[in-house]
Amino acid sequence: MLLLLPAAAVPAFAITTIVVPTWGIAPPTSYAAVSAGAHAADLVAGLGGLAAGLLAWAEPRTRRLGVLAVAAGALWFAPDWEGWEGGPSIVRSLAAGIAPLLAALLAHLVLVYPTGRLDGRAGRWIAVVLYVAAVTIALGQALVRDPFLDVGCWRDCLTNSFLVHRDPGLASALDDGWAAMRIAAGTAVALVVPTRMLGGSPAARRLLAPALAPACALGGAEIAYGALLLARPVEDPRDTAFLAVFFARSIALAAAAVAITWAVARQRRVRTAVARLAARLGERPAPGTLSGVLAAALGDPQLAVVYQLPDGRYIDAAGMPASGAPAPGRVATPVRRAGREVAVVVHDAALLDESSLEREIGGAARLAVDNERLQAEVFAQVADLRASRARIVEAGDAERRRLERDLHDGAQQRLLALSYDLRLAHASAVRDGNDRVAGTLAAAVEEAVTALGELRDLAHGIYPAILTEAGLGPALATLADTAPLPVGIRQVPDARFSATLETATYVTIAELVDDAVRRGASHASVGLRHHGHELVVSVSDDGMDRRAAPIHVVDRVGALGGAVRVKGTSARAVIPCA
């Protein structure tokens, strides 16, 4: 049904251009008949509307806009048909009847630009009121206007094929109503775009900008036309004022056609971008490709595609935490598949809604969405695991530090105080000449000193306090002091690092040195370099070849996102640091 309209518009346009306006008739029965220039302006405006409408019609995402534009282009020619000198009176009467619809149609077109959808209560009301008014006036004119009795008649003064009841008074009042409606519709046309732009986001303003000048011009010309009709009851196409307004309306409509063409071109760009994305699917797009493509295609640089994990958190394509709650002025539109939310697009509120998003993303891009979502989930899981590993190691270290401190502040201090007492008791026993007791107490003091030494070694083994207090340099020097083989230490950076990193580094070196001892080495050499964002630990020795890094070292370094490599008798651990 809808396809009939453009199909009919083409022959109608052909007849209009060739047959209908006849120059040189006095008085002229249409503006196009006034002069070659007026004819050209008439054709450019109507043809422009039709052509832009057909273009939009061919593009699925602007089809609704296209329907309206084709209708507007066709209706533009209605007054020419009405003034078809010698044409069938049914055609001329029908043209006269439908002509008033153009003003309402133009307002509708501006209200729905560029998506073709009528958003907002105010917009809907404006459209409904204007259509009702236009239909009422058109019907009224068709039923009661007898052109023969109309003093202002100039296009078709012969017959009205639909006349039911002759009423010149009512017909004249409807004429004034039509003029008033033009003013109302013109006002709407002129104000809608600036109003929508003022209230809209930057992205919405970018979308509406091409329509601003044409809509304002079109509205202004309609207002002028209506005002002129009210001021002068008899419309004369040769009158300078009327002719000027006609040219203004023609140019404005042609400009509006350009704006519609721009909207179509923009939609084409989006489609091409999505098609390119689909083409790239074969090459496994990198994470973030989808949001990049959509952002570029939709002209919203801040557009983000996020995915929800089963636990409710949102992540981006790289698996990093993201916000599913949009900032003010932005909205989160879900992409659903079989009722399940597979992704959320956070974008400018003016750009998309759920159904158009479905269209934008298209069938091919769905694969990209799935692919990216699965990848993002894996990334997020890996990040979670890494964080959890690091937390476990960190908790263990904190526990060891606490144990060391407890030993130092508790058992060691008590044993010490006990020893002081033993020593005092020993001194007094010696003074009293009680040799047996003095001997026992001296032995007890010796025992206490031994116990303190063992306790100190135990505490140091649990956690070397010097590491927290003085850093890796002194801690490694002490490690070398007590190692059962010579340990050469080179290049220890003076800088301090996080407790986690320092502990991991210390433990790594201690374990690798122990390993050297186990493999029968006679000396070991330790190097430590701070290299940009990583700490590089290397331990080499002269023992038997290492088969693999000690598992404890692999776990330690791995927990911090690092790696250990073993080659011959040397091991190298690279640990990322902030």
Partner 1 sequence: MRVVVADDVMLTREGIVRLLQAASVEVVAEAEDADSLIRHVAVSDPDAAIVDIRMPPTHTDEGIVAAQRIRAEHPDVAVLVLSHYVEPAYALRLLEEHPEKVGYLLKERVFDVAVLVDALRRLADGETVVDPTIVARLVRRKRQDDPLDELTPRERETLELVAEGLSNSAIAMRLFVTQRTVEAHVKQIFLKLGLDANPASHRRVRAVLAYLRSTG
The two beta strands, 570-576 and 534-541, are antiparallel
For partner 1, the binding residue among 423, 529, 552, 572 (CB under 8 A) is: 423
Closest to partner 1 by CB, 301 or 439:
439
Closest to partner 1 by CB, 354 or 421:
421
Rounded least distance, CB 577 to partner 1, Å = 22
Closest to partner 1 by CB, 52 or 448:
448
For partner 1, the binding residue among 523, 529, 552, 572 (CB under 8 A) is: 523
Closest to partner 1 by CB, 274 or 492:
492
Q: What is the largest CA-CA distance in the chain?
A: 153
For partner 1, the binding residue among 275, 420, 434, 531 (CB under 8 A) is: 420
**Span interacting with partner 1, options 301-309, 335-343, 373-381, 422-430, rule CB under 8 A:** 422-430
Rounded least distance, CB 555 to partner 1, Å = 28
Closest to partner 1 by CB, 353 or 457:
457
For partner 1, the binding residue among 25, 90, 416, 443 (CB under 8 A) is: 416
| Pattern 445-484, partner 1, x by CB under 8 A | x--xx--xx--x--xx----xx-xxx---x--xx-xxxxx
- Which distant-in-sequence residues (6+ apart) come within 8 Å of 292 by Cβ? none
Closest to partner 1 by CB, 319 or 471:
471
- Which distant-in-sequence residues (6+ apart) come within 8 Å of 487 by Cβ? 479, 480, 513, 523, 524, 525, 526
Closest to partner 1 by CB, 303 or 472:
472
State the Cα torsion 408-414-415-420 to the nearest 10°: 120
Rounded least distance, CB 341 to partner 1, Å = 51
Beta carbons of 476 and 509 less than 8 angstroms apart: yes
Closest to partner 1 by CB, 344 or 459:
459
d(CA 10, CA 17): 11
Asked if 440 is part of the footprint of partner 1 (rule: CB under 8 A), the reply reads no
Asked if 409 is part of the footprint of partner 1 (rule: CB under 8 A), the reply reads yes
Rounded least distance, CB 400 to partner 1, Å = 16
# chain residues binding partner 1, by CB under 8 A: 42
Closest to partner 1 by CB, 35 or 440:
440
Closest to partner 1 by CB, 119 or 406:
406
Q: Which of these, 80, 86, 95, lies nearest to 29 by C-alpha position?
A: 80
For partner 1, the binding residue among 8, 10, 392, 417 (CB under 8 A) is: 417
Asked if 424 is part of the footprint of partner 1 (rule: CB under 8 A), the reply reads yes
Q: Is the dihedral of CA 527, 532, 535, 540 positive or negative?
A: negative
How is residue 67 written in tokens? 């329907």
Rounded least distance, CB 391 to partner 1, Å = 25
SS3 assignment, position 27: coil
Provide DSSP, 395-414. Answer: HHHHHHHHHHHHHIIIIIHH
How is residue 436 written in tokens? 């047996």
Rounded least distance, CB 501 to partner 1, Å = 19
Closest to partner 1 by CB, 280 or 408:
408
For partner 1, the binding residue among 336, 414, 518, 565 (CB under 8 A) is: 414
d(CA 434, CA 436): 6
Asked if 213 is part of the footprint of partner 1 (rule: CB under 8 A), the reply reads no
Type of residue found at 158: L
For partner 1, the binding residue among 112, 184, 487, 507 (CB under 8 A) is: 487
Rounded least distance, CB 549 to partner 1, Å = 23
How many helices (H) and strands (E) the chain has is answered by 18, 10
Rounded least distance, CB 474 to partner 1, Å = 4
Rounded least distance, CB 520 to partner 1, Å = 15
- β-pair partners for 314: 308, 322
For partner 1, the binding residue among 230, 485, 499, 574 (CB under 8 A) is: 485
Asked if 405 is part of the footprint of partner 1 (rule: CB under 8 A), the reply reads yes
- Which distant-in-sequence residues (6+ apart) come within 8 Å of 428 by Cβ? none
d(CA 197, CA 215): 12
How is residue 325 written in tokens? 């709650």
Closest to partner 1 by CB, 118 or 452:
452
Provide DSSP, 294-344. Answer: HHHHHT-TT-EEEEE-TTS-EE-TTS-EE-SSPPTTEEEEEEEETTEEEEE
Closest to partner 1 by CB, 157 or 483:
483
User: At 153, phi and psi to the nearest 5?
Assistant: -65, 135
Provide DSSP, 217-257. Answer: HHHHHHHHHHHHHHH-SS--TTSHHHHHHHHHHHHHHHHHH
Asked if 488 is part of the footprint of partner 1 (rule: CB under 8 A), the reply reads yes
Check whether the bond before 114 is cis (ω within 30° of 0): yes
Asked if 412 is part of the footprint of partner 1 (rule: CB under 8 A), the reply reads yes
Type of residue found at 71: A
**Span interacting with partner 1, options 1-9, 11-19, 402-410, 531-539, rule CB under 8 A:** 402-410
Burial code of 458-474, b = ≥16 C-beta within 10 A, e = fewer? Answer: ebbebbbebbbeebbbe
Type of residue found at 31: Y
For partner 1, the binding residue among 115, 141, 261, 419 (CB under 8 A) is: 419
The residue ranges that bind partner 1 (CB under 8 A) are 405, 408-409, 412-414, 416-417, 419-424, 427, 445, 448-449, 452-453, 456, 459-460, 465-466, 468-470, 474, 477-478, 480-489, 523
